[in-house]
Amino acid sequence: MKSHVWRPLYVVIALVVGLLVFRFFYVPHDFSSGKRGFMYSFHRMSNEAEWKQQPAKYGTTGRERMHEYCSACHGAVVKVRSENLHGIIPCEDCHGPAMNHPEAPEKLNIDRSRELCLRCHTNLPYTTSERKRIPGIDPKGHNPGEQCVKCHNPHNPKLEDMK
């Protein structure tokens, strides 16, 4: 074969070898998906102990337990919220971490930003995604620059309000 075929092949082989050598020295040896496969994605196994030492910042895990945790003081809101379209979303998804609440801070910081709502309610072009079932808007055309809570009650949304 002519040299114009071999030269690019040598370059590709050199790049692959260089990448593998770089990976060998740069990526920790215990970096993998772990015993449970890809359930927790790739991570450094020796880092698990470090993460266990991090202080918890969420009050509870799971929607049902979160509703119990929040119902102690906010029963009426949690009851209304549990019966509507946002009932499947844990309170902390919008209100932030609740660990040590109500002691510190007395009141959680409430994120009323448009960006928080648009995380779920931006129209997506994917036709096969389950996320497509969530009512979405075109953020550039639907009241740009305004907070969603100005017109919509996030604790009691109505499907017809979101169209």
Span 67-121, pLDDT tens digits: 677 888 888 877 777 776 777 777 877 887 777 777 766 677 778 889 988 988 8
- How many other C-beta atoms can be found within 10 angstroms of the C-beta atom of residue 48? 12
The answer to the question of residue 29 being in a domain is: no
The answer to the question of residue 9 being in a domain is: no
Q: Are residues 79 and 91 in the same domain?
A: yes
The domain boundary residue, chosen from 94, 110, 126: 110
pLDDT value of residue 52: 79
Range of the domain at 73: 55-110
pLDDT digits (tens, 9 = 90+) for 41-67: 777 778 878 877 877 677 666 556 666
pLDDT value of residue 131: 67
Counted domains in the chain: 2
pLDDT value of residue 163: 47
Name the residue among 94, 107, 105 with its Cα closest to residue 149.
Answer: 94
pLDDT value of residue 153: 83
Q: Torsion-angle region of residue 145: left (phi > 0), alpha (psi -120 to 50) or beta?
A: left
pLDDT value of residue 17: 97
The domain boundary residue, chosen from 91, 110, 129: 110
